[in-house]
Amino acid sequence: MVMSLQQSMPTMAMSMSFGAVPVRKLSALSSFAPLQGRCGMRLSGRRGLRVVAQQTEAGDVGTAGVAAIAGGLVANPVVAWSLYTLKTTGCGLPPGPFGLIGAVEGVSYLVVVGTVGWSTYTKVKTGSGLPSGPSGLLGAVEGFSYLSLLAILVVFGLQYLDLGFIPGPVPSDMCFGSPS
């Protein structure tokens, strides 16, 4: 007695709809069998309807993910430069022309803390961190943001122990003179 391949395989039934019209329950081998939908279309052969789980690809991180990648790739090196400058001079980065370097420094700290916050929130809600993103860039930004946060805590702690204070975000008499 010969049993067909479809009969020997366990079926994985899934409900499928085309718009608001249900097509029919599909089995694991539905792409090989003809499929007649209630909406009047006929799909058959190997070009038949394929059912794929709705899961985002590693490269699909959305607008927020792309912004986090772009911001994180700039912010983490700026924070590292700022922390090095703080540890060696006792002051952060100079304000620069029109205060742009200081502004980039401040925004970079916010991006690092925001990325770590988003990652922590995602970890609590889903049980895993952020998706890896295209070429693993979002995962790299996430990892470097955690390292940057650790470095922030260490350097700020050492700064406080060595000098007794952490310089404020605006120029003072000790660092770069008072603002004009």
pLDDT tens readout for residues 91-139: 889 888 998 999 999 999 999 999 999 999 999 999 988 998 999 999 9
State residue 43 phi and psi, 5-degree precision: -115, 130
pTM value > 0.75 = no
Taking Cα atoms as reference points, which of 51, 48, 50, 20 lies closest to residue 36?
A: 48
Largest CA distance in the chain: 95
The pLDDT > 90 percentage for the chain reads: 43
Report the alpha-carbon distance of residue 121 to residue 90 in Å, rounded: 33
pLDDT reported for residue 49: 53
| pLDDT interval class at 17 (50, 70, 90) | very low
DSSP 83-138: HHHHHHHSS-----GGGHHHHHHHHHHHHHHHHHHHHHHHHHHHSS-----GGGHH
Domain boundaries, the chain: 23-52, 62-163
Query: In whole angstroms, how far apart are CA 49 and each of 22, 61, 97, 147?
Result: 13, 26, 60, 46
Backbone dihedral angles phi then psi of residue 11, each to the nearest 5 degrees:
-90, 150
Answer yes or no: are the C-beta atoms of 78 and 104 closer than 8 Å. Answer: yes
Rounded-to-integer distance, Cα 168 and Cα 166, Å: 6
